[in-house]
Structure 1
Amino acid sequence: MFAQADGGFDSHTLRHGGIEQWWLTSLENWGPQGHVGSNPSSSAFASLKLGYGGYCPPERKRAWCGNVVHMKIVSWNVNGIRSIFKTTFRDWLASENPDVVCLQEIKADTASLTEEITQIDGYFAYFNPGLKKGHSGVAIYSKVEPVSVERKLGIPRFDAEGRCLKLTFRDFALLNFYMPNGGRFKDDMPYKLDVYTQLFPVLKELSGQETVLAGDFNIAHTELDLYYPKQNEDNTMFTPKEREQISTLINLGYVDTFRCKHPQQKAYTWWSYAYNSRQNDIGWRIDYVFVSKPLEKLIVDSFTQREIVGSDHGPYVVVLAKSFDTKTPPVYKKTQIQDSLFS
């Protein structure tokens, strides 16, 4: 059902190959007192209140100690990729040092994807911007070059809005979604539910393989996933019909990586800009990373990052006891020219 498609941009056309090697992340990369991939006195730590983003508490470090290798995957609705690059993204990326970053709601057309955004040393970059300027769109930064990139699901409106990006690697598939919201007055609810209905057969087919589903699903699944469940029972993102979609996804064989590690914890990924919601942690958990059953045993850690600002969403981080097989990530030069926008 997925198809190779025009309309997306990737950075591999800008580079000149690489040397094949095994890329493994080990605990030798831990810095002083558990800082990952960056000196705690660096500008990243000076300019951001990172919390779990840049510091690994002793209890978390102990939890990782048995894993010689790990893969860190992040899902983050940035609510505009250009604005996030002007604020927190670069410092956050340097300090968090993720292997894969799935971004949603990038709100950028191809003309807005400048070199600063498309060419980040150490990462291959893939984009699926929506056709309507300033709306939707998704992106993935990966330290590994995938075997294939797919951008169309076969749902005309969904595809035109740039809401999905699938990367297939040597031994697993990664899908990044920005699912429809449904609308405050539910005017788009039929569209939202129809997308889920059409998506489920595709995901069922992938559920027996090693598959990762990341993104903004625009649904809080249970009462643990929002601060005011009773007051929102008939509101968009928490109606019974919407919640059923996440239940169906789990019944297809996918594991909510946050609930796997934190069965009863209340933690959120989105906060309204009104009423000091973020400051008071009055939020919703609508951003997820699901993994198929074959990957469940590899879930090492998962956590939200309310303290990382720049969007009304915070990053959601998952760590898997899994390594990447990769070519050397690209190092870009200022003289390189963006000679091909779409593949």
Structure 2
Amino acid sequence: MKIATFNINGVNGRLPVLLRWLAEAEADVVCLQELKAPDERFPIREIEHAGYGAIWHGQKSWNGVAILARGKEPIETRRGLPGDPDDSHSRYIEAAIEGMLVGCLYLPNGNPAPGPKFDYKLRWFQRLTDYAAELLALEIPVVLAGDYNVMPTELDVYKPERWTGDALFRPEVRDAFHVLVAQGWTDALRTLHPDERIYTFWDYFRNAWGRNAGLRLDHFLLSPSVAARLAAAEVDRQVRGWDKASDHAPTWIELVDGSRTKRRKGTPKSG
């Protein structure tokens, strides 16, 4: 099974990019962030024509998340994180697909920091951490995929010294990510590429793409039973170079049956 996450940065404006990538990548499950469209403007007809069922949680001009499943309809299990009934941001949606729970998330940016937006980010992160603990306690296969808006380590940012005060890299945010992972989740990309500089985002400004001045913002966290099936984790970075591309590139993992698991180079060996 191939599961992907892609911050599309406007699903309607970048629909040709999305449809081209869907046809090329043939992912089984796709988590989308930053739809930037209300529910009624989600392009379900085009998505279905591409061979995918979908659920989505839209919002006018901002945010928005969706889960696509190739050849089937994802079964929605949650819309929005628990813990704040007044939170109107469309940042989390969850579905059951082939015996697995897939949570698609778009964590707040948090800038400028410090400030109210940064405080909201930390509160949202805590709500995610609390809910993730509940999911782990169920002892079922779970994938939490999306744009976490955090670079967990210095390997995840092209010039760490320039980002120390940014809400994406402040110690509080990195600590929050590490606390979340320490519950028992596996950071898929970093597990299979422990020493590599891997980026999933390149800003539109200052020729960031041309200079490979990137950030790793898009992550997969896997519950133990899913982590045992992890065979590959990569970034389709070439998509960032397409015409009218998102500033993020699609990131994906491949899962195989436990009996057939064969991890790629760089994977820690057991025993």
Q: TM-score interval w.r.t. the shorter chain?
A: 0.7 to 0.9
Q: How does 1:290-309 map to 2 (within 5 A)?
A: 290-309=221-240
Residue in 2 aligned with 1:218? 149
Residue in 2 aligned with 1:72? 2
Cα distance, 1:301 vs structure 2 = 0.5
State how far apart, in whole Å, the 2-side matches of 1:189 and 1:148 are. Answer: 29
State how far apart, in whole Å, the 2-side matches of 1:115 and 1:319 are. Answer: 25
Which letter maps to 1:178?
Y
Residue in 2 aligned with 1:88? 17
Match of 1:166 among 91, 94, 99: 94
Contact 1:105 1:178 (8 Å CA) reproduced: yes
Residue in 2 aligned with 1:311? 246
TM-score, length-scaled by structure 2: 0.87
Contact 1:257 1:291 (8 Å CA) reproduced: yes
Gaps of 5+ in 1: 1-70, 324-343
Which letter maps to 1:294?
S
Residue in 2 aligned with 1:340? none
Alignment of 1:137 onto 2:68: no
CA distance 1:316–1:115, shift in 2 (3 Å): closer
Give the share of equivalent positions with the same residue, in percent: 31
State how far apart, in whole Å, the 2-side matches of 1:72 and 1:136 are. Answer: 24
Alignment of 1:239 onto 2:160: no
Q: How does 1:1-343 map to 2 (within 5 A)?
A: 71-85=1-15, 87-130=16-59, 133-143=60-70, 144-154=72-82, 155-158=84-87, 160-187=88-115, 188-207=117-136, 208-309=139-240, 310-322=245-257
Greater relative contact order (Cα 8 A, min sep 6): structure 1 or 2? 1
Secondary structure of the 2:68 match is strand
Q: Which deviates the most, 286-295 or 220-229? A: 286-295
Superposed CA deviations along residues 107-132 of structure 1, whole A, max 9, x for unmatched, are 001232244445334211111002xx
State how far apart, in whole Å, the 2-side matches of 1:171 and 1:220 are. Answer: 30
Which letter maps to 1:227?
Y
Secondary structure of the 1:156 match is coil
Cα distance, 1:278 vs structure 2 = 0.9
Cα distance, 1:306 vs structure 2 = 1.9
Cα distance, 1:149 vs structure 2 = 3.2
Cα distance, 1:293 vs structure 2 = 1.4
Cα distance, 1:157 vs structure 2 = 4.8
Cα distance, 1:228 vs structure 2 = 0.6
Contact 1:147 1:170 (8 Å CA) reproduced: no
TM-score, length-scaled by structure 1: 0.69
Which letter maps to 1:79?
N
Contact 2:23 2:50 (8 Å CA) reproduced: no
Superposed CA deviations along residues 169-226 of structure 1, whole A, max 9, x for unmatched, are 3522110000111013443011110111122221112123211000000000000000
Cα distance, 1:153 vs structure 2 = 1.9
Which letter maps to 1:253?
G
State how far apart, in whole Å, the 2-side matches of 1:211 and 1:89 are. Answer: 25
State how far apart, in whole Å, the 1-side matches of 2:156 and 2:69 are. Answer: 29
Contact 1:278 1:306 (8 Å CA) reproduced: no
Cα distance, 1:152 vs structure 2 = 2.6
CA distance 1:186–1:322, shift in 2 (3 Å): farther
Secondary structure of the 1:101 match is strand
Contact 2:54 2:74 (8 Å CA) reproduced: no
Larger radius of gyration: 1
Contact 1:129 1:161 (8 Å CA) reproduced: no
Cα distance, 1:322 vs structure 2 = 4.3
Aligned residues: 249
Residue in 2 aligned with 1:35? none
CA distance 1:289–1:81, shift in 2 (3 Å): same
